[in-house]
Amino acid sequence: MVKAQKGDSEAYRELLGELDRVLRSYLRRILGDAGLVDDGVQETLMAVHKARHTYEASRPFRPWLVAIARHKAIDLLRRGRTPTGGAASDDTDGHLAGSSENRPEAGLEVARLLDGLPASFREAIVLTKIQGQTVEEAAGKAGVSTTAMRTRVHRGMRQLRKVLEGEPL
């Protein structure tokens, strides 16, 4: 990264290629869905590019990268974004890149993360962020007010952030 900060594009290309592999593995554990992982990797690479001036050579690189990757992963989960469904990406670490239906372990990882949440928060996140329902629809299904559902989603995401902070890269 220090070379990249000085403008060495070859070193930078090599670094980004390495980050692509590391991020893909990290985000697959968190996001599960292959489309979301592709989006997450690309958004994180762009964020790394935009934030490269904030890296200090005297500090370790890994925490800097993890903070940015986690921020983008949470951002993606919060937006409840659907995958772009664009061209299939290279699967550099030898696993088949597919949806979570094709890769049950990805779904299991997401379930494991959600298991750490109280039932009401888990339900709120599953309904809104995974099934893609609106807050109003989710509130109707859970039998609570929309304000209560919004609160549950917000608190659930906050707890999920804490769980993710403990996830290794």
Partner 1 sequence: MSSPNLIDDLANDLAPVEPPRGVAPSSLSWLLLGWTAVVLATMASGTFRPGVGEQLASAPRFVLESVVGWAVGAAAIWAAMAGGIPGNGSTAKRGWAVILLAASWAAIVAAGLVWPLFPPSMAGKRYLCHLETVLFAVPPLILALAMMRQRLSLEPRWTGFLMGLAAGSIPALIMQWACMYDPLHVLKLHLAPALLVAGVGWLIAPRFLPRI
CB 105 within 8 A of CB 113: no
Size of the site for partner 1 (CB under 8 A): 43
- 49 near partner 1, rule: CB under 8 A: yes
Structure tokens at 68: 């940015």
Please enumerate in sequence order all residues whose Cβ is within 8 A of that of 77, keeping only pairs 6 or more positions apart, or say none. 31, 129, 157, 160
| Nearest distance in Å: CB 70, partner 1 | 9
When the beta carbons of 67 and 108 are compared against partner 1, the nearer one is 67
Q: Binding to partner 1 by residue 55, rule CB under 8 A?
A: yes
Q: Does 13 bind partner 1 (CB under 8 A)?
A: yes
Q: Which is nearer to partner 1, 45 or 148 (CB)?
A: 45
CB 69 within 8 A of CB 133: no
Residues 123 to 162 in contact with partner 1, rule: CB under 8 A: none
Stretch that binds partner 1, among 40-48, 115-123, 124-132, 133-141 (CB under 8 A): 40-48
Interface with partner 1, residue 93, by CB under 8 A: no
Cα distance between residue 160 and residue 18, in whole Å: 27
Question: Residue 44 CA to chain centroid, in angstroms?
Answer: 9
Q: Does 96 bind partner 1 (CB under 8 A)?
A: no
d(CA 154, CA 110): 18
